[in-house]
Amino acid sequence: MTDSRVQNCIVFLDSGAGGLPYLSAYSALNPKPLLLYVADKKNFPYGEKTKSELVSLLIELVGRIKKHFSPALITLACNTASVSALAELREYFPGTDFVGTVPAVKPALLYSKKKHIAVLGTERTLEDGYIRRIADNTARDCTITRIMAAELVNFVEHDIDYSDKAARIAMVKKYIDMAREKGADALVLGCTHFLFLLDEFKEASAPDMPVFDSMNGVCGRIENMLSGKTVMTGKNLLFVTGEDDAGKQWETRAARFGLDIFKPRDWDYV
Ligand code: DGL
């Protein structure tokens, strides 16, 4: 059943907290539209699922989101979901506009003097053919060092709020050192969760290893795709799947990102 409180909103969707910096950056660019953040806690983490598992769970979730909210646009604020299922979602829901989030491989390769970049992401994102395809279309004979960082995803999802700066720097430095040891001269943050650590990444990788992410590209794309559309305005909202109670940590996040916790009517939580 459609929920008249939230229609024609812009949805940001991730397995957890990862898309929140994207929502925040878009809200700074255009504060008008009502943004609905959907944290698919029920299915976290996406990075350890197979492509076909992700395609079916995302088709199910997007189907429900469409039914309840008739969104003006859906942003997959998740690299894992985008490389695994964006094409399938577009095919399954031909009338719906989607914006995907993919690792910023192209700008990093265009910058890299050694034509050797490191991409940090989930296992699923890194095993997908997407990165190689973009790399081959951008630079000949380039080297891509793939660094799987599920530990970092879990750190951001569960522990970051209880960590101090020294712990966060130590956490990211480990991955920057791996990229340096392999000989890369640019680092791509290929998972939205890592944007929570952007300052730490920049601090620990300077001056020889610039960090690339897709946040500005995604925000610009949303803005272009929205032109001429009718959108609802109002306070931004957070919906956490999985349980009726979002939990304390999500209350803290909602407050930090200026979101009201929202429970759709008639949503089957479990
Ligand atoms: N935030 C997601 C991404 O950008 C992945 C996190 C997960 O494994 O669920 O890839």
Provide the residue ranges of all domains of the chain, joining segments of one domain with +.
10-101+216-261, 105-213
Give residue 6's pLDDT.
Answer: 84
Confirm whether 191 is a catalytic residue: yes
Q: Is 125 in the pocket of ligand 1 (CB under 6 A)?
A: yes
The protein residue with its alpha carbon nearest to ligand 1, atom 8, reads: 47
Q: pLDDT: is 245 or 201 the higher one?
A: 201
CATH 3.40.50.1860 fits 105-213, yes or no: yes
Asked whether residue 269 carries a pLDDT value surpassing 70, the answer given is: no
CA of 228 to the centre of ligand 1 (A): 31
Q: How many CB atoms lie within 10 A of CB 110?
A: 12
User: Best of 46, 131, 155 to mutate for ligand 1, by most ligand atoms within 8 A of CB?
Assistant: 46
Q: Is 10-101+216-261 assigned to CATH 3.50.50.60?
A: no
Q: Which of 79, 155, 188 to mutate to test the pocket of ligand 1 (most atoms within 8 A of CB)?
A: 79
Q: Would you place residue 3 in the very low, low, confident or very high pLDDT band (cuts 50, 70, 90)?
A: confident
Say what the pLDDT of residue 266 is. 81
Q: Does 190 score more than 90 pLDDT?
A: yes
Class of residue 112 by CB neighbours under 10 A (exposed 0-12, middle 13-18, buried 19+) = buried
Give the residue with greater pLDDT, 126 vs 265. Answer: 126
* Residue 244, pLDDT above cutoff 80: no
105-213 has the same fold as 10-101+216-261: yes
pLDDT band at residue 230 under the 50/70/90 scheme: confident
Backbone angles phi, psi at 16, to 5 degrees: -160, -130
Q: What integer is the mean pLDDT of 258-263?
A: 94
What percent of the chain clears pLDDT 70, i.e. is strictly above it?
99
pLDDT at 4: 77
